[in-house]
Amino acid sequence: MDQNMIGAYRSLGEAVLGDKPARLSFRNNRFKDVDDWRAEARAKARELLASPDLEGAPKAEVLSETVLDGVLVQRLRWQLPYGPATDAVVLKPEGAKGRLPGVLGLHCHAGAKYFGWRKIADDGSPINPELAAIRKEEYEEHAWANRLAKRGYVVLCHDGFLFASRRVRIGEVLPVIRWNQAKDVSDGEPPEEIRAYNQWAGQHEHVMSKSLLCAGTTWPGVVVAEDQRALDVLCARDDVDPERIGCGGLSGGGLRTVLLGGMDERIKCAVCAGLMTTWRDGMLWKSHTHTWMLYVPLLPQYLDWPELLGLRVPLPTMVMNNNEDSLFTLSEMQRADDILREVYEKAGAADRYQCTFYPGPHKFDLRMQDEAFDWYDRWLKSQ
């Protein structure tokens, strides 16, 4: 551990970050009332995220409807004030009546911006080999959103900012940042063309992040704002009980769960898989493994990463880690668990926080999916 991401400047990073709870940590002795603390801490987080104003709930258009293996599948589309339209899918049990609990299914990053909601949901369309590889590696070959819908949920999955329908088209950027031979691929393209696009999109991340900062916003701020608009769509449906809403996802989906679950009280139950660590881990050992959509400038001065999710206390929260996950340092995943546990215990809500460590690499396999679904059942079906 003597070697680190910033070499001899480790002492600088450690001096700035410190080893005590950050300024707005609920673990500080000055905070006694959880509601007072949350209001102050969330206001600072909102300021630093600097999300754009997306002008209210979008109007979703239903494009098609079909039934797949006992699940009613609706294809949706809506337009935000900027960028291409957002494609989405809604899944629910065939023949379901009345208002069901809803879950916003948040897809992963996986270094594959060509794909979005299709990583976790199936509408019966042909599955590209590149998509099949992602599902095999991260989800044990299953579209987990369909599995959850079968258990009695309305599940909405949408393309996140810069993914799939929301991706950047190469033909629209300056020639100076077209680094490889990638082109604007479309459905049916050979896998090598999709891989080339995904490689280009990965290289484009630092450009996008810097440009958003120049605009006066942040990548995470845009992500959470767009996910909140998707949440608007889910909550407005007449087949959804807006008082029983959850969200969850793996990796980039876990990142989005931290942001959305921490910042929006409509999320009554949250499951973050494969994206829980500390700012210290990023500073010293793992910043090179993560997307720019993780970093909120100056936030580490006020809240550690797990404490952003902790803003939702005492609402139910599950965290799932993998012991051999190369994206994180195990000791820092464990420290993040200690931090969140302390927050929930101090708030008198220890029974509403659960963290589990699983053997194996970065994944959200069937065992993890089933345990996450049981958590949703416990808190969204029993209310």
pLDDT in tens, 124-136: 999 999 999 999 9
Pair 231, 94 in one domain: yes
CB 333 within 8 A of CB 276: yes
Give SS3 for 66. strand
Residue 185's pLDDT is 82
Sign of the dihedral defined by the CA atoms of residues 251, 256, 257, 262, in that order: positive
Neighbouring CB atoms inside 10 A of 72's CB total 18
Tokens of 109: 């990053």
224 and 75 part of one domain = yes
Whether 333 and 200 share a structural domain: no
Confidence check: pLDDT of 54 > 80: yes
Give residue 285's domain range: 7-52+272-381
> Could you tell me the pTM of the whole model?
0.97
The C-alpha atoms of residue 269 and residue 378 are separated, in whole angstroms, by 10
Share of the chain above pLDDT 70, in %: 99
383 pLDDT more than 70: no
Domain count across the chain: 2
* 257/271 Cα distance (integer angstroms): 7
Q: What's residue 180's pLDDT?
A: 80
pLDDT at 366: 98
Assess whether 283 and 219 both reside in one domain: no
In this prediction, residues 138-155 reach a mean pLDDT of: 98
Q: Are 104 and 230 part of one and the same domain?
A: yes
- 1: exposed, middle or buried (C-beta count within 10 Å: 0-12, 13-18, 19+)? exposed
How far apart, in whole angstroms, are the C-alpha atoms of residue 265 and residue 42? 11
On the CB side of 354, how many CA atoms lie within 13 Å of its CA? 16
Residue 352 has pLDDT above 60, yes or no: yes
Q: How far apart are CA 3 and CA 205, in angstroms?
A: 26
* Each residue's pLDDT tens digit, 77-100: 999 999 999 999 999 999 999 999
Residue 265: pLDDT band (50, 70, 90) is very high
Rounded CA separation 308/340 (Å): 10
- Tell me: do 78 and 117 sit in the same domain: yes
Both 33 and 98 in one domain: the answer is no
Centre a 10 Å sphere on the Cβ of residue 308 and count the other Cβ atoms it contains. Answer: 22
Buried/exposed code over 23-43 (b: 16+ C-beta within 10 A; e: otherwise) = ebbbbeeebeebeebbeebbe
Does residue 265 belong to any structural domain of this protein? no
Give me the chain's average pLDDT, please: 96
At 183 the pLDDT is 84
Q: Are residues 42 and 110 in the same domain?
A: no
Q: In this predicted model, which residue has the larger pLDDT, 187 or 42?
A: 42
> Is pLDDT above 80 for 341?
yes
Residues 6+ apart with CB under 8 A from 136: none
For residues 319 and 338, membership in a common domain is answered with yes
Asked whether residue 256 is assigned to any structural domain, the reply reads no
